[in-house]
Structure 1
Amino acid sequence: MRTKRGIILVLFLLVIGFLLLSLQLEEHYLWISFGFIICTILIVVIRFEQRPLEAREIVLLAILAAIASLGRIPFASIPSVQPTTFIIMMSGIVFGAESGFMIGLVAALASNMILGQGPWTPWQMAAWGLVGLSAGLLRNTPFLKYKWGKILFSICWGFLFGWIMNLWGLLAGAGSGVPLDIKTILAYYSASALFDTMHAVSNVFFLLVFGNTWVKLLTRFKRKYGLLQS
């Protein structure tokens, strides 16, 4: 058990390493993104090492990631409004932290194949991966058992996602000679406040309208076909 936890910790540290490496090797963002995916797949495999990870379970994760990524496209013209965060959150709540993390990473990489890849891709992957990871870690707590908790969680990640992407912008700018001082940081985060608010509001909207349906649907698949059981 300790060995398994140690390996998972090393893989998470590698993910963080890839994230920091993306600031120095911006032109290699695609390779860094694939490194994210490989580490996350290994985490999921190790998590379920007591029984084989079936092909249908991998297919389910791929389908959910595809739905989350395609959800960005119809809303591409409306900044920060999309159902991707909601879908990743619901997946993490039903299937757990590791699965939610991988769905978030793949969704960001896949959707950017259409909307545009760039040095921001690994950071989007990390941000959406953390949505699924945190939802999975908190899924059995009273916080996410009630609708008010899910609403608060959705609002928080509407802003946290933007703040993580702002951090990438600031660090990337600092590498190009832009001064990283309090004035710059406040101006950067203030400029994104409207978009972060729109993201939070859209998360709550999708949760209130589709939340119960998604949880029931995914839970039914999980129980009926025995998918991704701990």
Structure 2
Amino acid sequence: MARFRFPLLIALALFVVILALTAALKDRHYILLSLVLVAAALFPLFVRLERRALESRELVLLAVLSAVAAVSRIPFAALPSVKPVSAIVILSAYVFGAEAGFIIGAVAALVSNIYFGQGPWTPWQMFAWGMVGLTAGWLRNTRWMRTRTGMLIFGFIWGFLFGWIMNIWYIISLPDAFSWGLVAAAYASSFYFDLAHALSNVFFLSLLAGGWIKVLQRFRKKYGLLQQE
């Protein structure tokens, strides 16, 4: 199990380093840094090439799921924080594992911002949605995640964690001097948006979980896609 997690931990460390660079560079070069983050997200797949060659249909599957997650934001553009992206990333990671979830979450953030607008927030969204997929993949074989209630609780928790990660970028980007009052104000003001995200995760997971999991598992078994050795 450790050999599967080690490349992901390296990719995660690269994400954290690059996010630190975005703060040090005062949000400059965020497009370049976002592309580097995509390369970091793909690092586990590069490592997998040493064990076996990736099939083109596996890459197509990752691209399709990333695109579906990205496009799913658009119909709900008028509803802040109400998006099916997290639910799609969670379900994809549940079936295909942490590697796939990490990649799908990160790429979905970058691709969807082609429509919503790229900015210094993009690398942070890539990290946050990547972590949604990463943790869902790591926990997918636990008794907790294998129950519908456990999965819904997981999605609810990540609705808040996602917002708390984005609050870090918001606080760093402010010109004001750091203070704990500023931190408290930032997290308090985001509460209703985070709650909306959490509740929407519960809603979309309830709506999609049964059908999506069956379809994705059928694809995985029939074509042998993204199997763990």
TM-score by length of 2: 0.94
Aligned length: 227
Give the letter for the 2:15 counterpart.
V
Q: Which residue in the other structure is 2:76 paired with?
A: 75
Structure 2 alignment gaps of length 5 or more: none
Structure 1 alignment gaps of length 5 or more: none
Give the letter for the 1:29 counterpart.
Y
| Structure 1 residues 119-171: Cα deviation after superposition (integer angstroms, max 9, x where no partner) | 00000000000000000000001110101110110100010000000011112
Q: Root-mean-square deviation (CA), in Å? A: 1.7
Q: Name which of 187, 190, 208 aligns with 1:189.
A: 187
Aligned partners of 1:8, 1:220: CA distance in 2, in Å? 26
Distance 1:203-1:2 versus aligned 2 partners, 3 A rule? closer
Comparing 181-190 and 82-91, the one that deviates more = 181-190
Distance 1:191-1:43 versus aligned 2 partners, 3 A rule? same
1:97/1:136 contact within 8 Å kept: yes
Q: Which residue in the other structure is 2:37 paired with?
A: 36
1:4/1:46 contact within 8 Å kept: no
Q: Secondary structure at the match of 1:144?
A: coil
Q: Which residue in the other structure is 2:20 paired with?
A: 20
2:8/2:99 contact within 8 Å kept: no
Comparing 154-163 and 180-189, the one that deviates more = 180-189
Give the letter for the 1:200 counterpart.
A
Distance 1:60-1:137 versus aligned 2 partners, 3 A rule? same
Aligned partners of 2:166, 2:210: CA distance in 1, in Å? 29
Deviation at 1:27, TM superposition (A): 2.0
Give the letter for the 1:21 counterpart.
L
**Matching of residues 51-62 of structure 1 within 5 Å:** 51-62=52-63
User: Aligned residues: percent identity?
Assistant: 48
Deviation at 1:19, TM superposition (A): 1.1
Tell me, yes or no, if structure 1 residue 228 matches structure 2 residue 205: no
Deviation at 1:45, TM superposition (A): 2.6
Comparing 96-105 and 35-44, the one that deviates more = 35-44
Give the letter for the 1:17 counterpart.
V
Deviation at 1:42, TM superposition (A): 1.8
Aligned partners of 1:5, 1:165: CA distance in 2, in Å? 25
Give the letter for the 1:43 counterpart.
P
Give the letter for the 1:140 counterpart.
N
Tell me, yes or no, if structure 1 residue 153 matches structure 2 residue 143: no
TM-score by length of 1: 0.94
